[in-house]
Amino acid sequence: MAKLPNKSKKQKERALELYNELLEYYPDPRCELDHRNPFELLIATILSAQCTDVRVNKVTPDLFEAYPTPEAMAKADLEDLEELIRSTGFYRNKAKSLKESSNIIVDEFDGEVPQTMKELLTLRGAARKTANVVLGNAFGKNEGVVVDTHVKRLSNRFGLTKEKKNTNKIEKDLMALFPRETWTDVSHLFIHHGRNACKARISEPPDHPICIKYGKKCECWKMRGQADAEK
Ligand code: SF4
């Protein structure tokens, strides 16, 4: 990834403080896609595009029973694959990605999911976000920060980025603010807090201790009122 933006010491300290406090409330940050190995995580992540983790977790047990390895999935009948993953949406395209990625893993990588960003990006249906999920959660490599819809929203609300849309720019801001060893967990923590308290639609700031403290610094301070923000 290209050069990261400059961040002040104060900005980095605030980010680390936020990270440590999130960790207190969500002490077990983890990927919520069920998987037993890197291949299963890769496939589950491809399926999770435009779909909830809960829905993906309902589909993958039968899928992995039918096709437990890249070799088996590479040989799958496309229509059978489509049927198994239909409820995750965009199933035709996803079925092609599953089969083609499995083929590439077998042909180019000796049947093993590759462990570098460059190689993962050669798989069909795997963009930087998918690669970050696999590298961080299957291989323990902090190459970047996964920016999904929750991370995008919370990064803006917490005032960690000014970028509203471009996930690559948001990722760079987060990489510049948080220490590298925290990158995988930063996105898990944001996702946990996003599901728990900082939901997409909020009519008033939640009572969560993080919100009460950071509501003075993030978007909710406007709701809490200027006077309260200055206490
Ligand atoms: S205070 Fe508001 S913007 Fe900040 S984390 Fe809580 S819900 Fe999100």
Q: Where are the alpha helices (DSSP H) in 70-113?
A: 70-74, 78-85, 91-108
| Ligand 1 midpoint to CA 213 (Å) | 9
Answer yes or no: is the C-beta of 18 below 6 A from any ligand 1 atom.
no
What the chain holds in terms of domains, given with CATH numbers, is 9-28+145-229 (1.10.1670.10), 38-138 (1.10.340.30)
| Ligand 1 midpoint to CA 115 (Å) | 35
Phi, psi of 166 (to 5 degrees): -70, 105
Q: Which residues are catalytic?
A: 129, 148
C-alpha angle 173-176-179 in degrees, rounded to nearest 5: 130
Answer yes or no: is the C-beta of 100 below 6 A from any ligand 1 atom.
no
Q: Give the pLDDT score at 228.
A: 60
Scored b (16 or more CB within 10 A) or e, 52-90 reads ebeebbebbeebbeebebbeebbebeeeebbebbeebee
Answer yes or no: is the C-beta of 194 below 6 A from any ligand 1 atom.
no
Answer yes or no: is the C-beta of 135 below 6 A from any ligand 1 atom.
no
The closest alpha carbon to 191, from 136, 165, 161, 154, belongs to 154
Q: Give the pLDDT score at 226.
A: 56
Prediction pTM value: 0.92
| Ligand 1 midpoint to CA 170 (Å) | 18
From the CA of 157, give the closest atom in ligand 1: 3
Answer yes or no: is the C-beta of 206 below 6 A from any ligand 1 atom.
yes
Write out the chain's pLDDT in tens, 231 residues: 779 999 999 999 999 999 999 999 999 999 999 999 999 999 999 999 999 999 999 999 999 999 999 999 999 999 999 999 999 999 999 999 999 999 999 999 999 999 999 999 999 989 999 999 999 999 999 999 999 999 999 999 999 999 999 999 999 999 999 999 999 999 999 999 999 999 999 888 899 999 988 887 788 888 877 546 555
From 17, 151, 218, give the residue whose CB has the most ligand 1 atoms within 8 Å, as the site to mutate. 218
SS3 category, 54: helix
Phi, psi of 74 (to 5 degrees): -65, -30
Answer yes or no: is the C-beta of 157 below 6 A from any ligand 1 atom.
yes
